[in-house]
Amino acid sequence: MTEHDAVDIIRTKRDRGELMPEQIDWVIDAYTRGVVADEQMSSLAMAILLNGMTRPEIARWTAAMIASGERMDFSGLSRPTSDKHSTGGVGDKITLPLAPLVAVFDVAVPQLSGRGLGHTGGTLDKLESIPGWQADLTNDAMLAQLEDVGAVICAAGAGLAPADKKLYALRDVTGTVEAIPLIASSIMSKKIAEGTGALVLDVKVGSGAFMKTREDASELARTMVDLGTDAGVNTVALITDMSVPLGLTAGNALEVRESVEVLSGGGPQDVVDLTVALADEMTRAAGQEVGADELRAALSDGRAMDVWRRMISAQGGDPDADLPTAAETETITADADGHLEHVDALAVGVAAWRLGAGRARKEDPVQAGAGVELHVRPGERVSAGQPLMTLHTDTPERFARAQESLEGAWRISEQAPAAREVVLDRITARGA
């Protein structure tokens, strides 16, 4: 590979120029090898945040990150693969019921997931609250489970896009996490390297999401759909509401419990609706015409639950074990009669984080039983003194800080609010 000058590359992007393919290949490879210093890459990341990238630049940047590591291959499986990625939110436990539901219909789901950071919960943290469950699998074990069970949720191996792991850590401490080209290439480099045949993206928008506006969410969704399409992956995105928490729980074991309710044919309506909407997209993208009615039936009649139990057991977990509960609880009550008009997702996410459900740094531990449990959904009628939410933690000194984040986080009004749609838009390779 021809040597380039990191300073020239930084200047090009600083001055709103377009990086050449060979410059992108070199800078990603050189940064991964340690030839380009952190301060140089952080300068380039800031220039990208401020000045953006063209579609060819983002595609080449993503390809260079994929080329930094290994690629998985699912072509030997007896069924097609379809995966889902969520950009993260509060109470977003959708992967847990979704993966086994899709697997019911002869579509393999290789769900490589992550841990939570800040106010957004991590799928692996949730599942690790199940006694015995293990996140780390070898590639061979993952393939065997996909063939046998049809669904796997596990940690991504270190070999997938190592450039992304290094660059993500840098973005986290340099104020460049929000750069849409870098978010899109980070997500898609891992998903394309993973080797899935179809990918459905759940792009969250609202106070509890990284994208606060519909415009930013649409730009991110379009960028990722283009990247997937250009790489030969059948990709579609749903833009979904994250202005209020998903379901009634935010926290690890609390969300597992709610997911099991959904797999038992119950659970909150918004969690069921989004699970079915994403399952419909995933099965269609894999060539299976199932339909929403049949998907809902598989949640009600135990077929999805059967796959869940096998999936958890295959990774050492006990699906019948009691889930951890927090040692201490504190209840917040309504201060007026009326309709619960709104509950702010970010405030609930921060409260769950402060109670111990999340982490400030990657190496921090989490409490399995900590989090926030809502007793009322927006739109429902409440009376003064009625419980609105319960806070859970093992460390009661955390209650005060959690309650601070919830000040002003809900509104009670005389009028019932308008019905809320969870799925706001659909972005495909042919347009929205």
Q: Rounded CA gap, 366 and 92, in Å?
A: 17
Q: Which residue has the tokens 């939570």?
A: 116
Burial of 12 (0-12, 13-18, 19+ CB in 10 A): middle
> What separation in angstroms does the CA of 28 have from each of 65, 95, 153, 259?
7, 31, 29, 39
Answer yes or no: are the C-beta atoms of 111 and 202 closer than 8 Å. no
284: nearest Cα among 388, 198, 368:
198
Which residue out of 4, 84, 85, 309 is catalytically annotated?
A: 85
164 is catalytic: yes
From CA 259, how far away is CA 306, in angstroms rounded? 14
For 286, list phi and psi in degrees, rounded to 5.
Answer: -90, 5
Where are the strands (E) in 175-232, listed by range? 198-205
Amino acid identity for residue 197 in this structure = G
Q: Is 248 helix (H, G, I), strand (E, B) or coil?
A: coil
Q: State how far Cα 352 lies from the chain centre.
A: 17
Catalytic residue among 83, 92, 125, 164: 164
Alpha-carbon gap, residue 24 to 406, rounded angstroms: 44
Query: CA nearest 243: which of 48, 409, 383, 398?
Result: 409
Q: Which two tokens stand for residue 92?
A: 């977003």
Q: Which residue has the tokens 């690890």?
A: 252
Q: How many helices (H) and strands (E) does the chain have?
A: 16, 13
Our answer to whether residue 166 is catalytic in this structure is: no
Cβ contacts of residue 42 below 8 Å, gap of 6+? 170, 174, 176
126 in active site? no
- 118, two tokens: 């800040």
171 is catalytic: yes
Count of positions (residues) in the chain:
432
Which residue in the list 190, 309, 392, 398 is annotated as catalytic? Answer: 190
Catalytic residue among 115, 171, 191, 284: 171
Check if the beta carbon of residue 167 is closer than 8 Å to that of residue 181: no
| Catalytic-labelled residue, pool 43, 186, 207, 243 | 186
At 387, list the tokens.
Answer: 């419980």
By annotation, the residues acting in catalysis are: 85, 164, 171, 186, 190
